[in-house]
Structure 1
Amino acid sequence: MRTFYHSTRSSATTVTSKQAILQGLAPDGGLFVTDAVDQMELDYKSLLSKNYQDQACVVLSTLLGDYTDEEIGRCVKKAYSNQFDNPDITPVTKIGDDWLLELFHGPTCAFKDIALQMLPQLMSVARGESEDSVMIVTATSGDTGKAALEGFADVPGCGVTVFYPAGKVSDIQHLQMVCQKGSNVAVCGVRGTFDDTQTGVKEIFSDPELNARLAQRHIKLSSANSINIGRLVPQVTYYFFVYSKLVEREAIKAGDKVDFCVPTGNFGDVLAGYLAKKLDLPIRHLIVASNANNVLTNFITTGRYDRRRPFIKTISPSMDILVSSNLERLLYYESDGDADYVASLMQQLNDEGYYEVTKSVKERIQKTFLAGYADDAVTKKTIKETFENEGRLVDPHTAVAKTVLDSIESDGVQRVCLSTASPFKFSADVLSALGKDTAGKDGFECMDELAKLAGLAAPKQLSELRSAPQLHKDVEDLDQMPAFVENSCTRIFR
């Protein structure tokens, strides 16, 4: 059965899931959604005894209905065979009275790997025998960039261009990107914030002259950000997987509700949980954890989204975001699919920097979503206490989520904290939070000291960066981003 998608801002034109994945962003600037999600049949009980790969096949087949079972099975096998260092892909461990969903066992040590090992496979199938080449253009606040580069490197018929805010990612995140090998990759720092960079990417997608010139050369643009439905859907699987693990370990019985606490900036990771809930997974609350850039906390609490605030550079850079793109999908679903209403909110956000939802929409959102935030000082305190009390190292993003989760009184419902990155990606900040002096030490010296302190080995894919050559040194102003993409297309698709 085909699954049709359309823009959050208009339902006038529909596309298949394959077409939505290839396009990435709807032509009107909206995000692709499907109205069929509430009618989709996915019995979570049937997944309880399945491994991660088999669960992924069921979830992807449900949400991407125009892919055949054989195509999905092939994609899953390629994405989740030997790229992860744990057979469970996303193992579940105990942390205090709660559970930790470890999403950092992939090739780039961050949760983005779960989706960005899958997206290239889905996109390759969607391309089929097309003569068109696809240039992936994506903005990153730190982790998406490397995961996209790793996933798409040397994929036939595809190129990948990654923009990151120069000076606003961690040292290790920066090296992961600029040391990336591959004949079809391009990396560029941007003088500005992540929000500036993300806006620049959206403008590239909506630039008719640029897209027309590329079309003449049989090149199409697509995205690897979570604005691409093919990036978002694979993340739904791990909500089902952790639920099955809790049943297996007799922490819950099938049918019991579970709470999830998710560190998020662009709202994609937590929106995957929302889709899992719409597919009837027994989820009670989704707790949105923000850092000091707490625009999402304010929105969920008040119903007013306001990006007109100072940008704060924090030790959890993947969450340093003031415009959370995926929130648009939630607005569509919680307004009962009122595309005109969503379009008006997005126009107001663009023109005036804020919007406020109706009371009914706010109340509907608050039935599912709770929110809280942690600044750097509290985040560091949580890193230190978690190591001292639990013997566990957590990265700053996970610490933000644990801080927020710990601030909410447990009432007997099992709770899962999503751990989105390896602590070794942020060695200096984690080491500093543990009370160690990092002055004058580079990221690798901090990594070595952190590994010794914790009695752990740093992930090989991170420690090996110390001797890797830096291959990508471009840094451009915002207005040069379109030219960089066009030049990258010329180099890659000769």
Structure 2
Amino acid sequence: MNNFYVSTRDKQVHLTSKEAILKGISDDGGLFVWPDLADVKIDLNRVCQNNYKENAVYILSKLLHDFTKEELEQCVNNAYTDTFASKDITPVRKVGDIYVLELFHGPTSAFKDVALTLLPQLMSVALEKTDQKALILTATSGDTGKAALNGFKDVKNIGIEVFYPDQKVSQMQYRQMASQTGNNLKVLAIKGNFDDAQSKVKELFLDKDLNEFAAEHNVMLTSANSINIGRLVPQIVYYFESYKYLVNHDVIKMNDPVCFSVPTGNFGDVLAGYYAYLMGLPVKKFYVASNANHVLTDFLTTGIYDRNRDFIQTISPSMDILISSNLERLLYYMSNQDTEFVKQCMDDLNQKGKYQIPAQMLEKIQSLFGCGYIDDEATKQVIKETYDSNSVILDPHSAIAYKVAKDACEDVIVSLATASPYKFPQDVLDALGIGSTSEFDAMNKLAEICSDPIPGNLAALQTSKIIHKDVISVKEMEESVKDMVEKFV
């Protein structure tokens, strides 16, 4: 079995998992994938007997081949010991007929915590036998930024710079990032949307002059976005964990297939589920849930990916994305690892803003992936109906997945809840018909009716000081990175 990662755009690229995690993105612009992923078969009986941390070590050992078991155990223990509010890390709650996988009990109240508490540990281990430092460049549509800042804060030999779209994240997301303390980080708002930030960050990773400048200072540029394979693979674990719950609570029998509904913009969260499926998780169908920026719904329906459309700012900002980076990895596997085909699709996307896949491939994808989308008004209606019927409050992203899950009418379906409702309190209260004067007024009112208490990290924002206030243009991002490289050293 080949243990090297390759680029989605060039199969001749060969990196170990540690090298791929540190590099983040391939020099050709492709994403790192492991060709033999489908040859791995996870023992479901073992999964159902293990606790979360044991499953994390077991599953990651199948994917990160040059990490020793001792290294993985150290990373997992550092990441998940006393950092999540739930002892189960990612608990499951039945809401009506839907099983909701709660991924928001981590230190920043979003699903990104599951991976971004672990990625710094993996990166630190990977750096140990090098004499380099790493500077992480991260574009965020809201949640990744804070989770990455929290995970990498003051980590030895690693710096981080986060770019978020000015005025296009929630007030809670803004305060989480703008109040972040730490000696190795920088947070900047950019004039534009998430796609502008993400595209520029990718461009910077591939900028030869910038990388040479960083190398002169003994710094390598890398990513904490889900384009980094080290950020993606930890998310596989909670799909197996949800299956464990269903088996151990006699909802299903071992090897029965289940369905998942996943709110997504960048396709990373649902791709982790697809990876779990390739590794043996019995899945009948994945439902890709989108908001008004439904580029993924259109792609999964027509086979045409077209980002040439208006960008819509919604109450589910983490899904306000028109360029879904991780879809590239799905194309790689669904095309039988045809890197030339993937490269052509990505070139077309870059040059024309669109690409089309063959009908046979679309049929293959549609056999495993369903889709659906709702706009803001429908999202608010779901939030209210779910509360009225089940006394459970969903955040706007989780509500979209819940609605798509209900519409799917599957026997057993798991809907992913990706953020705490306290991160979007005014929009949630508005959906419930309750007025508020500010984000914190809304958060306190929400606490009166929500079964879960205000997460400590969000409650602390009421007295936190705004530290990071700069707003820059996309063109200024490169100079900011150079400045960070010099200061970091």
TM-score in terms of structure 2 length: 0.99
Q: CA RMSD in A?
A: 0.9
Question: What are the within-5 Å matches in structure 2 for residues 34-53 of structure 1?
Answer: 34-53=34-53
1:404 maps onto 2:400 in alignment: no
1:421 maps onto 2:444 in alignment: no
Rounded to whole Å, the distance in 1 between the matches of 2:483 and 2:159 is 12
Contact preservation (8 Å) 1:3, 1:16:
yes
Contact preservation (8 Å) 1:21, 1:229:
yes
**Per-residue deviation, residues 285-332 of structure 1 (Å, max 9, x unmatched):** 010000000000000011000000000000000000000000000000
Q: Which residue of 1 aligns with 2:465?
A: 469
* Matching residue's letter, 1:408: A
Contact preservation (8 Å) 2:98, 2:406:
no
Q: Which residue of 1 aligns with 2:359?
A: 359
Rounded to whole Å, the distance in 2 between the matches of 1:97 and 1:404 is 13
CA drift at 1:45: 2.0
Question: What are the within-5 Å matches in structure 2 for residues 100-119 of structure 1?
Answer: 100-119=100-119
1:490 maps onto 2:482 in alignment: no
CA drift at 1:485: 1.1
CA drift at 1:12: 1.1
**Per-residue deviation, residues 177-206 of structure 1 (Å, max 9, x unmatched):** 010011001100000010000001001101
Rounded to whole Å, the distance in 2 between the matches of 1:471 and 1:131 is 32
**Per-residue deviation, residues 61-99 of structure 1 (Å, max 9, x unmatched):** 011111111111111000000110111000011111110
Rounded to whole Å, the distance in 2 between the matches of 1:182 and 1:460 is 19
Rounded to whole Å, the distance in 2 between the matches of 1:180 and 1:469 is 9
Deviation beyond 3 Å, 4+ runs, structure 1: none
Q: Which residue of 1 aligns with 2:310?
A: 310
Contact preservation (8 Å) 2:152, 2:160:
yes
Give 3-state SS (helix, strand or coil) of 1:63's partner: coil
Give 3-state SS (helix, strand or coil) of 2:288's partner: strand
Q: Which residue of 2 aligns with 1:459?
A: 455
Contact preservation (8 Å) 1:56, 1:234:
yes
Rounded to whole Å, the distance in 1 between the matches of 2:428 and 2:98 is 21
Contact preservation (8 Å) 2:141, 2:319:
yes
* Matching residue's letter, 2:425: S
Between 1:466-475 and 1:388-397, the stretch displaced more is 466-475
Contact preservation (8 Å) 1:18, 1:126:
yes
Question: What are the within-5 Å matches in structure 2 for residues 7-406 of structure 1?
Answer: 7-406=7-406
Contact preservation (8 Å) 1:2, 1:66:
no
* Matching residue's letter, 2:485: C
Contact preservation (8 Å) 2:5, 2:32:
yes
Distance 1:35 1:239, change over 3 A: same
CA drift at 1:466: 1.2
Rounded to whole Å, the distance in 1 between the matches of 2:274 and 2:163 is 28
Contact preservation (8 Å) 1:83, 1:106:
yes
Contact preservation (8 Å) 2:98, 2:405:
no
**Per-residue deviation, residues 104-131 of structure 1 (Å, max 9, x unmatched):** 0000000000000000000011111321
Rounded to whole Å, the distance in 1 between the matches of 2:479 and 2:462 is 31
* Matching residue's letter, 1:430: V
Rounded to whole Å, the distance in 1 between the matches of 2:241 and 2:449 is 32
Rounded to whole Å, the distance in 1 between the matches of 2:98 and 2:421 is 19
Contact preservation (8 Å) 2:134, 2:159:
yes
Rounded to whole Å, the distance in 1 between the matches of 2:254 and 2:158 is 42
CA drift at 1:267: 0.2
Rounded to whole Å, the distance in 2 between the matches of 1:237 and 1:355 is 32
Give 3-state SS (helix, strand or coil) of 2:408's partner: coil
Rounded to whole Å, the distance in 1 between the matches of 2:348 and 2:333 is 19
**Per-residue deviation, residues 39-67 of structure 1 (Å, max 9, x unmatched):** 12322222111110000011110111111
Q: Which residue of 2 aligns with 1:450?
A: 446
Distance 1:23 1:455, change over 3 A: closer
Give 3-state SS (helix, strand or coil) of 1:94's partner: strand
CA drift at 1:3: 2.4
CA drift at 1:492: 2.2
CA drift at 1:2: 7.3
CA drift at 1:456: 4.5
CA drift at 1:409: 2.1
Distance 1:455 1:115, change over 3 A: closer
TM-score in terms of structure 1 length: 0.98
Contact preservation (8 Å) 2:204, 2:478:
yes
Rounded to whole Å, the distance in 2 between the matches of 1:81 and 1:126 is 21
Contact preservation (8 Å) 1:287, 1:369:
yes
CA drift at 1:468: 0.7
Contact preservation (8 Å) 1:8, 1:33:
yes
**Per-residue deviation, residues 220-259 of structure 1 (Å, max 9, x unmatched):** 0010000000000000000001101110000001010000
Contact preservation (8 Å) 1:47, 1:55:
yes
How many residues get paired? 489
Give 3-state SS (helix, strand or coil) of 1:35's partner: coil
Q: Which residue of 1 aligns with 2:431?
A: 433
1:480 maps onto 2:471 in alignment: no
Contact preservation (8 Å) 2:261, 2:289:
yes
**Per-residue deviation, residues 408-433 of structure 1 (Å, max 9, x unmatched):** 223x3x11000000000000000000
CA drift at 1:489: 1.8
Contact preservation (8 Å) 1:139, 1:163:
yes
How much identity, in percent, do the aligned residues show?
A: 50
Contact preservation (8 Å) 1:136, 1:224:
yes
Rounded to whole Å, the distance in 2 between the matches of 1:197 and 1:323 is 11
Contact preservation (8 Å) 1:2, 1:65:
no
Rounded to whole Å, the distance in 2 between the matches of 1:139 and 1:345 is 23
Structure 1: where are the runs of 5+ without partners?
none
Rounded to whole Å, the distance in 1 between the matches of 2:331 and 2:129 is 36
Rounded to whole Å, the distance in 2 between the matches of 1:231 and 1:168 is 24
Rounded to whole Å, the distance in 2 between the matches of 1:464 and 1:107 is 12
